[in-house]
Chains A and B, each alone.
Chain A
Amino acid sequence: MGLLYRKDIFDKYNLKVPQTWDEFAKEAINLHQSDPGLYMTDFPINDGGWFTGLLWQAGSRPFKVNGSDLTVNINDAAAKKVAEYWQKLIDAKAVDTAPDFNNEWYSALDRGKYALWISAAWGPVFLSGIAKQSSGKWRAALLPQWGAGENVSANWGGSTSAVTKQSEYPKEATEFAIWLNHNSQSAKMLADKSFLFPTLKSLLESSDFQNRTSSFYGGQEVNKIFIESSKQVDLGFEWSPFQDYVYTQMTNQLGSVGKGSISLTQALDNLQNKIVSYAKSQGFHVKG
């Protein structure tokens, strides 16, 4: 994950790229007070993947899977720290609570309602496609940190090549999936034509990929930011065996947070209960 911010708005309101979440909060509150029509960013109350990435960065480890043994800790201490932080910003109206990835939200980004978008490695190319009018005004930066001087990042979702149980030739399919992502030509096509951030190190480290610039980002070498970010991702994070269900429940709970009927902390507790009972009903042995 990383930040995509509007340099023109930052310049106009004398904002610095926040290095810590504390700085981010201060700037967000000040910005909205200076201009009530403007928000530092949007907290998308429908986007479980986005929120999970932030939990990941804070050190939360919601799931541990071991066959049919499942540990669920979506409301652990790190998660609660993130929840309290964003609740403060929501209460101060320093961030918007609109759902993302719809026309309204694209317009908001393009027209400068939000000063930045907390995004991921696939974000830069995506943004350039939906915010054409603000081309040239965007820049990329690393995520703010919880502790000054730290270097921790996280992933927002991801893509996989999966072989299903119904496959007639599972061995060959697996070999193909491995080849698809390892072969340098294939990896280059996945990166250039499918806008998938490369997993092949030789491609990541190639000067062609690193030095790529675009006018949308004012000539900045955006890939370098996300290459740096990808090195900072802690690989100890695990997904649940039913992430679709988790995301839908997150939308339900975060939606209530957006309406102000519950707090983010309460939402995490509700999520914990719902996920545990769902996992049990699906036959998992649940701890936590």
Chain B
Amino acid sequence: MTSRVPPAEDRSKRSEGASAAPRGRRRVLHAGIPYVFILPFMLWFLVFLVLPLVYALGLSVFETRLVGGNAFVGLDNYTRAFGDANFWEGVRRMVVFGIFQVPIMLGMALAFALVLDSGTIWLRSLFRLGFYLPYAVPSVVAALIWGYLYGPSFGPFTQLAELLNFPTPNFLSDRLMLASIANIVTWEFTGYNMIIMYAALQSLPAELDDAGAVDGAKGWQIALYIKVPMIRSAIFLTVIFSIIGTLQLFNEPQVMYAIAPQVIRDHYTPNLYAYTLAFTNQQYNYSAAISFVLGAVVVVFSYTFMLLTNRGELRSR
């Protein structure tokens, strides 16, 4: 029967290790080093994120008029924001947008990630790069390119349709504008979401494939029933990002404004509305309040999603 008490030398070594932590001033210095490492980021975070938020919060409880200057108005701007039809029209539009665009985009991203991961494609890195490339294109440039492609008189799609004697759809009309923008956003971000899911898939143990094959599962069954549930947290990450990004959509509508101002007008999305209020209407205070209400909407949607999915997880245990 072997003794479970460690030999004497080990015990003394262990007590030495315990006292290896520095004492007194050296301990404080030692404990402080991590903070030094994160200090640059904390400074940046404070100056460029926290301070502007505090400033905007301050702005939102005042009102500056062209005639009469600055005055404290308490929660007046917020009351007005809650009753502002333009703002809620934008939010409603983004919810409709999100309900259709996000599942399609993430579905495609997941499909591409699974196919790439399965290793059945040759030139894998070429496809990986190809899917990701649209994300590397600045969204303003992307919107400009697509704006040209969508051109109702001289755009390539229209010219192709005319050549083939098809009726030319007006991508920039009231009916199709949301879908046209959804197309641009999907083109831009599918690759980005795919990479997140692909990285998660790549980190799964390779034995899964073998174990699944031994049990008689086909490739797509392994993918759907084993791998997808295992990268659940990565998928949730992409959904949260998409919710946040969708509600704050700005770049694409802003660029579309130049070619279809009668459709976009000044309040197509909540962020565009906040921008117009600030920089055209010079109503900076109200714009700040609108921005905070939008932030609250984003928080509500994100938190609701997390609650729903967490409850699902608990139940499945």
Q: Which residues of A contact B (CB under 8 A)?
A: 45-46, 68, 98-99, 101-104, 107-108, 111, 113, 241-242, 244-245, 248, 251-252, 254-256, 258-259, 278, 281-284
Contact = CB atoms under 8 A, between A and B. Distances in A.
B263 A244 contact: no
Contacts of B262: 45-46, 99, 251, 254-256, 258-259
Given A99-B258, A104-B153, A256-B262, 5 more contacts: A45-B261, A45-B262, A99-B259, A245-B280, A245-B282
Interface in B255-305: 258-263, 265-266, 276, 280-282
Contacts of A255: 261-263, 265
Interface in B148-174: 148, 151-155, 174
Nearest to A246: B280
B65 A281 contact: yes
Contacts of B261: 45-46, 99, 251, 255
B60 to A, nearest CB: 16
A134 to B, nearest CB: 14
B274 to A, nearest CB: 14
A223 to B, nearest CB: 30
Contacts of B281: 242, 244-245, 248, 278
Nearest to B281: A245
Contacts of A111: 154
A113 B281 CA distance: 35
Contacts of A99: 258-262
B67 interface: yes
Contacts of A258: 262
Contacts of B67: 68, 282-284
B17 interface: no
B152 A104 contact: yes
- Is the contact region of chain B dominated by helix, strand, or loop, or is it mixed? loop
Interface of B: 65-68, 148, 151-155, 174, 258-263, 265-266, 276, 280-282
Contacts of B276: 248
Given A252-B266, A284-B66, A107 B260 contact: no
A68 to B, nearest CB: 4
A283 B263 contact: no
Contacts of A104: 151-155, 259
A107 B281 CA distance: 32
B279 to A, nearest CB: 8
B154 A283 contact: no
Contact of A108 (B153, B259, B260): B153
Contacts of A108: 153-154
A68 B152 CA distance: 45
A259 B174 contact: yes
Contacts of A284: 66-67
Contacts of A252: 265-266
